[in-house]
Every structure is written in C-alpha cells, then in structure tokens.
Chain A
Amino acid sequence: DTGVSQDPRHKITKRGQNVTFRCDPISEHNRLYWYRQTLGQGPEFLTYFQNEAQLEKSRLLSDRFSAERPKGSFSTLEIQRTEQGDSAMYLCASSRLAPIYNEQFFGPGTRLTVL
C-alpha cells in the first residue's frame, strides 16, 4: 500500500494556459475524490468518482474544469484557460466501497500557482 500519489506536486503557469493534474489512488479503492484548498481554508469538494463513473460535481467545478477516471484507475483533473483565482492546492482522496471502511485517504496535493 503506497498511499495516494499526485503529480505534479507543484505547477506554475501563466493565466490562460491549460493544466492537467494526475491522481493515483490506493489500488483497492473504488472511490476517488477531488478537493480544492485555498490558503487558510479547509478543503472544498469538487467531484467524486465511483470506479469510472463521475457521480457528483460541485458548483465550484465550472465549465473550465473537467475530470476523468478512465478504467476506474487513475484520475486526471484539467483546468482550461486558467485564472489567478484557480491558484490553490488541489487534493485527491480515495476510499473503499464498503460502508464501514470508507475512511478517506488523501494524497500530498498539487500546488497550482497562476501568474
């Protein structure tokens, strides 16, 4: 069990550019979540996958944001035409499907800075 991994750990981009982040969940975890955390705040939910199906999206996920989880394994989060307000830490989490053992485990995050 290597834990949840995210790549890259840091990304600096210019306003208007597209960026893509990757998350690899714990191997036996069916559920995968994306959250965004701005400075001094708790994480806010963005979207959730069960296997390859995207089951819930937050209103925070504007049409510039898209997430995928092909084949129910890793997930990608893409932001198109980045804005300075997109600067944040993007966190991925995964959990088991079983009702009792559904503790969410988080990755190290991707820190995005939009100049």
Chain B
Amino acid sequence: KQEVTQIPAALSVPEGENLVLNCSFTDSAIYNLQWFRQDPGKGLTSLLLIQSSQREQTSGRLNASLDKSSGRSTLYIAASQPGDSATYLCAVKPGGTSYGKLTFGQGTILTVHP
C-alpha cells in the first residue's frame, strides 16, 4: 500500500526566505506526482505535475523535483511572500495506468510572516 509522508508538518518563515518542502513515498512505481496548494476551508489548487519520466518542473517561483528511485520529491519556493501561506499537499498516482486515485500526504502548513 502506497504511503506518502510530508516533512515538516508545519513551517514558519520570514518573508523573502527560500524554502523547501519534502515529500516521500513508499512505492516507487508511480505514474506521476502532483503538488497542490490548499487555503483554509477551500479546495485544492494544482501547482505542478511531474510525470514519472521527468526530474523536475518549474512554474514561476516554484520548482518541484522528483527522484523516483529513492521515493522523494521536493517543492522549492523562492523568495517567499505572505500570500504563499497555505497548506501544501503532495500526491502520487500509481504506475501502470494513466487513471487512478491519488494518494495524498498530510500536508505541510506554511506560514510566511511579513
């Protein structure tokens, strides 16, 4: 059974810092990995999707990397801003097929203070 773990559970940083969120998964046979952002009481916003054959994806100040063999992904946020405060979730889709449920981690609660 796939298990996804996110470290740290919570992170508080001053504005302007670069930061890294970690995600690990137990079964390396994944199809892809997605990073999401969730604001309190809201749905999920997709940030980045990395296919299993890719090593990284970038969008603006966000960069996500994937090391499938070691079961790890990181989300790098450059020059953090108070508006980045949210819960960040990673999720993996099992390998072998393009459909299939996502298995989520518990999330990292990020607070960026001015």
Q: B-contacting residues of A (Cβ < 8 Å)?
A: 4, 6, 31, 33, 35, 40-45, 48, 50, 55-56, 58, 91, 93, 95, 98-100, 102-109, 111
CB contacts (< 8 Å) of B89 on chain A: these are 42-43
Q: Identify which of B4, B41, B44 gathers the most chain A CB atoms within 10 Å of its CB.
A: B44
Q: Chain B, interface size: which category?
A: 20 to 34
CB contacts (< 8 Å) of B42 on chain A: these are 108-109
CB contacts (< 8 Å) of A50 on chain B: these are 99
Interface of B is mostly: strand
A-B contact pairs, 10 of them (CB 8 A): A41-B106, A42-B104, A43-B104, A45-B101, A48-B101, A102-B99, A103-B34, A105-B46, A106-B43, A109-B42
**Contact of A42 with B106 at beta-carbon distance under 8 Å, contacts A56-B101, A103-B34 already known:** yes
Interface residues of B in 1-52 (CB under 8 A from A): 4, 32, 34, 36, 41-46, 49, 51
Are the CB atoms of A104 and B46 closer together than 8 Å? yes
A43 to B4, CA, bound (A): 12
